Structure 1
Amino acid sequence: MCNEPFLINGIGSIRCPTLRDIRRLTYLQFCFYLNMLSASTEDYAKLCVPETESRNHQEGNTKSLYGLLLYENPQLLLGILHFFLSDSIEFDRDTSSFLTFSQDREGNKHFNGHIGSDNFNLFCDAVLCIMGIQKSEDREPKFKNKHAAKLYEKLKNNPLSKKKKQDADYSLDNMVRKFCTHNKSGINILNVWDMTYYQFISMFGEYQNARQCDFNDMMAANTFSYKKSSDYKPLDYMRNTDA
């Protein structure tokens, strides 16, 4: 919940961007960065590397996602590092990695770590963790019979089932608008931009829970909707929504 950078040993200080940072970068670019951090090497190679060159990436440093980004799209890699790191970075040609440095009040630089092919996956996982995003894992479900397994494969390969349509009600701009219009914490459209992405998403979840609990309190006080007194839980507001 804190907005200060997190120092990851051997890597550097990772920060959770604020809504102001995301607005300046644009939300689409922010989502693209997150997709890159959660992508596998194979997924990136299929999407961004030409087929004529994909066979050449089976050897050397480009076998890793870091290698593909470094040699195929260094501007994208630099953009990701600058956006999620609070440290200054320098490229080391000898190790083909980025060195991270922090600066004290006197202006002295202190070495914090590096980001390279050996720990880029750790960097990606740390960023997603700080953002409150769980990295999806492809786990095949277990089936009771072959018919259920065939039906699952048929649905899985259906192109219509692969389309993901974002609910417009839960777009970031609409969530900010609704949260700032009706809340009891003093956050408004003028000061919401200094909240980090994780703080806002977490607070928005609590806001939704509080709205539902307020409605339940109103129903309990003015109607006989609850057949059993045990159905009404006045302390349900304290439920941990992250669990």
Structure 2
Amino acid sequence: MNIYTSFDYLCNEPFNVNGIGNIKSPTLREIRKITYNIFFYYVNFLLCTPQNYAQAIGLVEEYESLCDKDKEKYSLYNLLLYYDANLLLAIISFFIYDDIEFDDKSLSFKTYQNIKDEKQYIGHIGNDNFELFRTEVQKILGLKNKDEQEQKFKNDLAKKMFEKLKKHNLEQKKEQDKNYSLDNMIRKYCTHNKVGINILNVWDMTYYQFITMFNEYRNGRQCDFNDMMAANTFSYKNSTDYKPLDYMKKLNND
């Protein structure tokens, strides 16, 4: 059961997840340290399925030929552990606030804190709870609704059709939202907001905080426009003559 709400995610403190440890919402500065491309790379793996990963490493035919029982053994955690353990370690290290160490016996990453020079173990991340870890990180980043339920399918064909449609919708959204790259959003928000956030202090906001406040900023601009139209109806014969979101257009080609 998830104990956190949208109110909690607005805070920049780590979130304790029972059995795992403390998961942090990275700040823009922390994302900058590893670079946005690496962060985006991590997020893609947190969103992908075992089928997607098998395809990425060229094992899709072998994976698809497995029976359902054998596929359960090849979870995303196990695939990452055996084919790219360094990547798995990097992802976990970036989002976990606590110290971690790999346990050879359980093939899992134990989380702990040093208290008075003694290790106090908090939890672990392994094959049994990696999906919970992924889900919680998605919620903390605002990529998954806290009430969103896992999609269930009657058969493999229905699942494949759903994933294909979802991928198509994401590609369309990406094409439509070229102006909403993170760097452009930061530029626009820091140039035109009413709360004193600028290009020098924006970096200490968490990813969730920034995305949330940027959405509020967009809504505020639209509301300001509506207020202006109500107070000055003589200014525009047609409300469509004014484009309040033209401000979001990129000023350069990077």
Normalised to the residue count of structure 1, the TM-score between the two structures is 0.76
Give the whole-Å Cα distance in 2 for the aligned partners of 1:183 and 1:160. Answer: 34
**Secondary structure of 2:199's aligned partner:** coil
Are residues 197 and 160 of structure 1, via their aligned partners in 2, closer, same or farther at CA, if it must alter by over 3 Å?
A: closer
Specify every segment of 5 or more residues in structure 2 that has no aligned partner in the other structure, as ranges.
1-9, 154-160, 236-254
Task: Give, in whole Å, the separation in 2 of the partners of 1:224 and 1:180.
Answer: 32
Cα distance per residue 1:118-154 (max 9 Å; x no partner)? 00001000110111112796688xxxxxxxxxxxx8x
Matched to 2:79, the amino acid is L
Higher mean alpha-carbon deviation, 213-222 vs 200-209, is at 213-222
Measured at CA, do residues 160 and 87 of structure 1 come closer, stay the same or move farther in structure 2, by a change above 3 Å? Answer: closer
Give the match for residue 107 of structure 2. 96
Residue 193 of structure 2 corresponds to which residue in structure 1? 183
**3-state SS in 2 of match to 1:223:** coil
Measured in 2, the distance between the counterparts of 1:39 and 1:62 equals 17
Point out 4+ residue stretches in structure 1 off by more than 3 angstroms: 49-62, 135-140, 159-166
TM-score normalised by the chain length of structure 2? 0.73
> Match for residue 171 of structure 1?
181
Report how many aligned residue pairs link the two structures. Answer: 210
Name the SS for the 2:19 alignment partner.
coil
Cα distance, 1:216–1:132 mapped onto 2, change above 3 Å? same
State how far apart, in whole Å, the 2-side matches of 1:83 and 1:174 are: 24
Q: Is the 8 A contact 1:61 1:67 kept in 2?
A: no
Gap change, CA 1:92 and 1:77, over 3 Å in 2: same
Find the aligned partners of 2:28 and 2:83 in 1 and give their Cα distance.
Answer: 30
Higher Cα Rg: structure 1 or 2?
A: 1
1:32 corresponds, among 41, 54, 65, to 41
Letter in 1 for 2:232: N
Please name the residue that 1:13 is paired with.
22
Aligned-residue RMSD, C-alpha? 2.9
Query: How far apart are residue 52 of structure 1 and its match?
Result: 8.0
Task: Give 5+ residue unaligned stretches, structure 1.
Answer: 141-152, 226-243
Over 3 Å counting, the alpha-carbon distance change for 1:171 and 1:63 in structure 2 is same
Matching residue's letter, 1:45: A
Deviation at 1:23, TM superposition (A): 1.3
1:77 partner letter: L
1:210 corresponds to which residue?
220
In structure 2, what is the equivalent of residue 80 of structure 1?
A: 91
Amino acid at match of 1:25: I
3-state DSSP of counterpart to 2:224: helix
- What amino acid is the match of 1:89? I
